[in-house]
Amino acid sequence: MSKSRYQLPDLSVQLVDDLIIRHIDKGSSVIDLGCGDGRLMQRLSGEMNCNVVGIDVELGNVAAVMRRGLPVVAADLNKGLADIPSDTFDFAVLSQTLQQVQHPKLLLKEMLRVAKRGLVVVPNFGHWRVRYEVLRRGRTPITHALPYEWHESPNLHFMSMRDFRELMQSIGLRIVKERPIINGRSVDQAWAANLRADSAFYLLERTSSTTSEPA
Amino acid sequence: MTAAANNSSRPGDGDSVGIVETKFATLFSEASPLKFLNGATLAPICVAYETYGTLNERRDNAVYVCHALTGDAHAAGKHAAEDEKPGWWDGLIGPNKALDTNKYFVICSNVLGGCQGTTGPGSLNNETNTRYCLDFPFLTVSDIVSVHSELVRYLGIEKLLAVVGGSLGGMQVLDWTVRFPDQVRAAVVLASAPKLAAQGIAFNAVGRRAIYADAGFLNGKYYESEGPRYGLALARMVAHITYLSEDSIELKFGRRLQDSDRFAFEMQKETEFQIESYLHYQGKRFVQRFDANSYLYLTRAMDYFDLSEGHATLADAVRNVQARFFVASYDTDWLFPTSQSKELVSALLQVGKHVSYVELACPFGHDSFLIDLGPLTDLISPFLEQTLISAKA
């Protein structure tokens, strides 16, 4: 990995968790998709009195969540959420995971099938430094948090904010709120967000035209 | 009530509970008999049980282990130092194990209708001074659990920390959480299901037919004679296949021959292949320790089990449970497949219950929950610890 290549900055865990928690109602039910060791779940349970369930594919993560005394279901997000009944949760969280799943469109639909609202945080590959990197050097960008070469990266999909908005429209999900994250701060609105944001946060909701057939 | 087992654990025993003994409790009375689901009543009922570890002062550290179809109360430790094998779940129960006897008071009892110390069809009916045989009341998983629940009260325990079981034991756990929701803080359901699938009923039917068809069965009144030995052994052989997986049979036996590297070309040689020899051995051993009538009763109890019975949906059935759940299935278990555990997990999620679930990878089929204890320990340990912490909160 070349040091001179641009890296999308590693978002502070604290920042992302705070941002998500701010958009979740106290006492609501939450499913955390790709919950990892259950860090966010613990805050939602402890600070927000939420009824929270995690989903993760790694057995080590399942054990870690159980060590926190919280419930977790081992499942592969690449296979959808077939075992989660519809309309079970108030919120579904998908933090920095969407770019790593095989079928993002399917998972987004599944999220909004099992929960009334979805909270998504994704990197913005539309950032000007990424574009510049590709243009100037013809090299694929690497993120700081996931410093992998293209052939070993868990990031399967590279989307920009504009791409994301367009996808939401095509599958009939409404973006209730969009917050670009710029230089480690989430902002309400930003000029040329698609060029300047490292990542973006979205609050999603179903609309009457949300398609229900598989992607 | 004392927990005698704990005192016998000495340094040097490793992770064993040491030497244990089976105890007996007499439950129910003429005045308040056990009421079976089918309306029959019975009293008194003798229950064989063992305990490991010490019940604490708050009496909130008791963990009840429910055994599977042909298990018994002897789950851990040895009855005598020279015993060849320890109890059936010794790898899971003991100091610093998943059911840590330094922390928990573990109880295991033989089920109602069984033949290893608890009242069953082979027991003496005091009224007639003969054995019950098939006059024993038709029993269900709920009746089994009613007796467990009574034993818990007898031991002076109001609320269990957890109820743990695999297979038919898991069915008991499920029934318990639904019918006595106040008595259980946590439920561990392994390689089990909210109902026995048609395939399971099918194999049970073959086993029972083998027993009925044995000339020694004598309508169940065989206790003065040899009994349906061949039928019972055959039932076990069939059932044993369902506890294994294609992979584990292939790995363990393959097509290897038992005594020679050449075919014998002998039609009546029934132990030519290693797998044949193994199944015959399992059948023979089973007959020495199990009663055919108990086998009939308990497989029927299993067939009848359906947690959602009397409810519109499975989710409705579990709506009032208070316990938190840990559910695990095995990828090679085709008798209690993952899909059935998932059905249970979905129902629990649907009504907002605390449930953790994993499908574990293990080649040993349905028997995995008795064999592959490492991954289970990693998950059950924190599950119980956290339940104990929340119980004290």
Q: Do strands A29-33 and A89-95 pair parallel, antiparallel, or not at all (unpaired)? A: parallel
pLDDT of residue A2: 43
Tell me the sheet residues that pair with A123.
A199
Q: Which tokens is B370 given?
A: 């008795």
Q: Which domains does chain A have, with CATH numbers?
A: 9-125+154-206 (3.40.50.150)
CATH superfamily of B4-196+307-392: Alpha/Beta hydrolase fold, catalytic domain (3.40.50.1820)
Q: What is the CATH architecture assignment of B200-300? A: Orthogonal Bundle (1.10)
> Which of A45, A79, A83 to substitute to test the interface with B, most B CBs within 10 Å?
A83
Of A153, A44, A66, A197, the C-alpha closest to B376 is A66
- Cα distances from B248 to residues B251, B258, B275, B276, B369, in angstroms, run 5, 17, 11, 15, 14
Q: Do strands B124-125 and B105-109 pair parallel, antiparallel, or not at all (unpaired)? A: unpaired
Task: Give A186 to chain B, closest Cα distance, Å.
Answer: 32
Query: Which of A 82-111 lie inside 8 A of B, CB atoms?
Result: 83-85, 88
Are B290 and B248 a contacting pair, CB within 8 Å?
Answer: no
Q: Which tokens is B271 given?
A: 């132990």
Out of B358, B387, B389, the one facing A59 most closely (by C-beta) is B358
Amino acid letter, residue B301? A
Task: Give A104 to chain B, closest Cα distance, Å.
Answer: 23
**Rg of chain B (C-alpha set):** 21
Are B15 and B94 a contacting pair, CB within 8 Å?
Answer: yes
Per-residue pLDDT 10s for chain B (393 aa) are 333 334 343 343 448 999 999 999 999 999 999 999 999 999 999 999 999 999 999 999 999 999 999 999 999 999 999 999 999 999 999 999 999 999 999 999 999 999 999 999 999 998 899 999 999 999 999 999 999 999 999 999 999 999 999 999 999 999 999 999 999 999 999 999 999 999 999 999 999 999 999 999 999 999 999 999 999 999 999 999 999 999 999 999 999 999 888 999 999 888 999 999 999 999 999 999 999 999 999 999 999 999 999 999 999 999 999 999 999 999 999 999 999 999 999 999 999 999 999 999 999 999 999 999 999 999 999 999 999 999 987
Query: Which of B 325-344 lie inside 8 A of A, CB atoms?
Result: 326, 342
Complex ipTM > 0.90: yes
pLDDT of residue B8: 40
Task: Give B152 to chain A, closest Cα distance, Å.
Answer: 26
Are A68 and A46 a contacting pair, CB within 8 Å?
Answer: no
Taking the Cβ of residue B377 and every Cβ of chain A, the question of whether any pair is shorter than 8 Å is answered with no
Give the DSSP H or E segment for B277.
helix B274-289
Chain B residue at shortest CA distance from A75: B358
Taking the Cβ of residue A29 and every Cβ of chain B, the question of whether any pair is shorter than 8 Å is answered with yes
pLDDT of residue A210: 61
pLDDT of residue B265: 93
Tens of pLDDT along A34-74?
Answer: 999 999 999 999 999 999 999 999 999 999 999 999 999 99
pLDDT of residue A153: 72
Chain B residue at shortest CA distance from A73: B357
> What string of DSSP letters covers B174-206?
HHHHHH-GGGEEEEEEES--SB--HHHHHHHHH
Taking the Cβ of residue B386 and every Cβ of chain A, the question of whether any pair is shorter than 8 Å is answered with yes
Q: Which tokens is B247 given?
A: 């992979």
Does the active-site annotation cover B167? yes
Distance CA(B59)–CA(B220), nearest Å, equals 42
pTM of the model: 0.92
Find the catalytic residue in B175, B366, B367, B368: B366
Residue numbers of chain A with a pLDDT score lower than 50: 1-3, 145-146, 213-215
User: Which residues from A are below 8 Å from B375, CB to CB?
Assistant: 59
Does the active-site annotation cover B333? yes
Cβ pair B356:A84 closer than 8 A: no
pLDDT of residue A6: 58
**Per-domain residue ranges of chain B:** 4-196+307-392, 200-300
Cβ pair A83:B326 closer than 8 A: no
Taking the Cβ of residue A62 and every Cβ of chain B, the question of whether any pair is shorter than 8 Å is answered with yes
Task: Give B356 to chain A, closest Cα distance, Å.
Answer: 5
pLDDT of residue A123: 80
Query: Which of B 276-315 lie inside 8 A of A, CB atoms?
Result: 315
CA dihedral angle for residue A60, residue A63, residue A68, residue A69, rounded to 10 degrees: 160
Does the active-site annotation cover B214? no
Cβ pair A51:B352 closer than 8 A: yes
Task: Give B165 to chain A, closest Cα distance, Å.
Answer: 19
Out of A29, A66, A88, the one facing B356 most closely (by C-beta) is A66
